[in-house]
Structures are given as C-alpha cells and as structure tokens.
Amino acid sequence: MAPTRRPSDGLLARVNFPLYAIEMLTSRHVLVAGGGGSAKTGVANGFEIYEIYHNGTHFCAEEVVRHETGANVVMNFAVRNDGRRSYLCAGQESHCQLYFVNPRIVYEGQEDLTSATDDKRKKESNATPATAAEHLNENGVRRRIPHGSGVQNLPNGHAGGTSKKDEDQNANLKRIRFDIKAGDSVQTDFLTAEPLQRVVRISPNGRLMATGGTDGHLRVWTFPQMVQLSDVASHTKEIDDMDFSPDSKYLVTISKDGQGLVWDLSSMKQRHQLKWTVPEGAKYLYKRCRYGTIEAQRDKYRLYTITNPLGKVGKQRGYLQQWDCVSGQLRQAAQIDESLASLAVRDDGRFVAIGTMFSGSVSIYIAFSLQRVLHIPNAHSMFVTGLQFLPITNEEGPPISSDTEAAVLSISVDNKVCIHSLQQRRTIPAWVAILLIIIVLFGAFVFCSYIGI
C-alpha cells in the first residue's frame, strides 16, 4: 500500500481566484495562474509567484509577486528561463501573450527608502503583522506578503511576523523581486465561434513554441519572436494537450477527437499514432500527455499519457500509460479508480504524478514500473487542474534542500496551492548488500563441504 501524506504537507498558499496552470519559474520559484474570467464577477485574473523553501521540518511558501491581467483569465502558459530572465507565454482567449519576467535583487533597507508603497506596508506590518507578514527564509532572503494581495496567511511557516530586533539586524539582506512586462501578442486560434487557445508549449532547446486550441490546428512558431512557421490541421476537434520531446525533435498532440499523434518537427509529418486495445470496447479519450527522460539516460525518453472513459461505461476507470517512443507502442498501463485530470513528470524522469477529476486526489508513481509510492486522497476539494514536481537538476539554480525523495505541487479551482512529498525510502547500502552476498556464499560453501557435496 502506498504511504499517506506527511502531516506537515498540504496547503502552501490560498489565493482569491481559481487556479488553472502551474510551472516552475526557477528551481525555487513557482508561478501559478488563473482567474474568474472576463465577466464582472469580482474575481481577479492573473499570476502569483512564490518562493518555495524547506525550513528543516516542512515546505513553506512566500509570495514574491502578484500580477493581475485585467479582464483576461490565464488558462494555460509556458515558461522559458534563459538564465538572465524568463519568458512567459500565456493563453488569453484566442491569443498568446508574451511577458518578460526580469529578476532583480534589492536590499531591504534600500527598498524601504526608495519605495513609498513598501514603506507604507512596513508601517502596516509593525501595526498589524498578520496582514503584512515578513519572514526570514533559509538563505537569509526575507519575504513579505503584501497587504491586500488576496493571499491568506497560513500557520505552516509562511505567515509569521518578525521582531524589531530582527528587522534591524536584517535591514540590508537581499530580496528577490520580479518585474513583469507585457510584450507581443499573437492570435493562435481561429475558430469562428469562441476561439480559445487551450495549450502552449516551448521546446526544451528554447527555439520553438507550439500552440493548440479549439480549431484543432497545431501551430508552430519561432521563439521568442513568435513568427509562425507551420499550421497543420492536425485534429478534427479541439486540442487538449501537447508536449515537446526532450530532444526537441518531436511533438505529441492529443484531442477530443480521440487521437494521440506524434509529429516529426523537421517535416511536420505524422510519425506515430497512439493506439491501444481499449478494454471491453469502451470509448476512451486522452486527457494529458508528457514526455519524460529515462533515468540516468538523458538521451532517451518515454511518453506518458492519462486517458479517461467517455460517458458512462460501467466500472471502467482512467489509465496512466507509458509509451515506447521508438515504436510508438504502449509499454504498460496502471488502472486508476476514477477519471484523471492532470499529469506531471519529474525533470530526471524518475517519478510521475497524477491528479484526479472527482476526489481531488494526488498520487506519485515510479516512472519505470508505474508502481504507486504515494497517495494523497482528497488533497483538493475539486478536480486537480495542475501538477508540478520540484526540480532536482541545477540548470536554473540549486534545487531546494529537503529530507524528501520527491515533492509535487498541486493546484485546483478551489484556489489552493498544495505540496505533497515522498519521504526517503530506506534501502540497504551497496556495501551491506555485497557483504550479505559474500556471507551467504560462504555459508553455502561451508554447508556443502560439511555434507560432502
């Protein structure tokens, strides 16, 4: 049986709008997005950036930036970090809006002197620490949750106040800020009635962007210039998801027409069609797709999908599937007790996570065997809209140090950002295993000699 959640895991932050998309901005910063739509509901639309860290006992989150997008809800986005700044491509209705996310380091004392707003918030913090909280993280980088941000202060380590002595001692500590500036916008979906971009991806090599939406067309663009290179009528119905292969040579698309297609980006020709033997002749639709490297083999990879039954089909449930990328054949599948909503693969290809549709549960699987190693029932009160593993590679900075083997962030339309971690599983050290083998062989030799064999 898969272990249950650690008591200290769970809710990291709560915002005041539904969440639809999540992705790591750096190795320590996560960006979430969503909103209430263009209707005058009073629900905001926009982004939140949080710094994630581990305080020695559990994970904590501090809000860094909140950026509202007016009447445009953000249902999907992709991020590319080039080391100096990040590019954010956000789906807003029928268009893809490019944002530049520029990090800057400021000092606490300087910022308080030059920013009237922050000075005001500092006074508010001294008066009411619960509404403008400051916190000193593991790196000595202090964060403040801005007053009126819509983020609820939580008792798990990211809403505590600081004393006057602490403020004096840490007056010149570094703080990371992000400046978000809007760039170009291009139309990516051209359905006659209510066009909508459903998904956007940026290739791992940072040269291409792909979009898909309600008109069923796969469009590939240069990045970050966003000049269209190709337009393929790939599906007869809207595209639900897509993903680039780790070597940026292939792209997989899945659609409500029931097809999963793998495209060769050099020719924009179809390479594979994902086919499998459907149980009891039921109708299934692919819901999400993600490539993942094979652990310790960075030049090789596999494809993962989740599929759900279409309509009422009795006891049929969802599947987590693993595909061979050379032959295009299904390697193995794990049956899940309900329909699935979200999928994520860790950057080293070792773990896969899924989120469910009805119970709001989250599970972590070993990618190679599809063996479930962690199950968090009812992590959210509604379906899980997005998952993102904390990275362990150092391509965008050092990873977060913690006592866990894996940790995945989850979001939902219940406005919550949660984290779920798999504790280190105990294994026998290699030298102990070798010693045991020697002892067993020696014992077998002695026994055979004793009985004269």
> What pLDDT is attached to residue 395?
67
Cis peptide before 224 (omega within 30 of 0): yes
> What pLDDT is attached to residue 122?
40
> What pLDDT is attached to residue 399?
84
Query: Does residue 440 fall inside a structural domain?
Result: no
> What pLDDT is attached to residue 258?
95
Please report, to the nearest 10 degrees, the dihedral formed by the alpha carbons of residues 326, 328, 331, 335 taken in order: 150
Give the CATH number of the domain where residue 314 resides: 2.130.10.10
Quickly state the pLDDT bin for 402 (edges 50, 70, 90): confident
Q: Which domain holds residue 364?
A: 10-423
Query: Does residue 98 fall inside a structural domain?
Result: yes
> What pLDDT is attached to residue 66?
94
Q: Mean pLDDT score of the chain, rounded to an integer?
A: 84
Checking if the pLDDT of 256 tops 80, the result is: yes
**Average pLDDT estimate for 184-193:** 96
> What pLDDT is attached to residue 312?
64
Q: Mark 303-320 as b/e (b = at least 16 C-beta within 10 Å).
A: bbbbbbbeeebeebbbbb
Query: Does residue 450 fall inside a structural domain?
Result: no
DSSP letter string, 39-62: SSSS--EEEEEEEEEE-SSSEEEE
In whole angstroms, give the CA distance from residue 10 to residue 6: 8
Q: What is the pLDDT of residues 281-309, one digit of tens each?
A: 788 999 999 999 986 566 789 999 999 99
Residue position matching structure tokens 């970050």: 224
Query: Does residue 335 fall inside a structural domain?
Result: yes
Please count the structural domains in the chain.
Answer: 1
Which of 126 and 363 is assigned the larger pLDDT?
363
Quickly state the pLDDT bin for 393 (edges 50, 70, 90): confident
Query: Does residue 218 fall inside a structural domain?
Result: yes
Helices and strands (H, E) in the chain, number of each type: 4, 30
Q: What is the pLDDT of residues 68-79, one digit of tens each?
A: 999 889 999 999
Q: What is the pLDDT of residues 118-143, one digit of tens each?
A: 444 444 433 333 333 333 343 333 34
Checking if the pLDDT of 277 tops 50, the result is: yes
Q: Return the beta strands (E) in 336-377 as ranges.
A: 340-345, 351-356, 362-366, 371-376
Query: Does residue 174 fall inside a structural domain?
Result: yes
**Average pLDDT estimate for 162-186:** 71
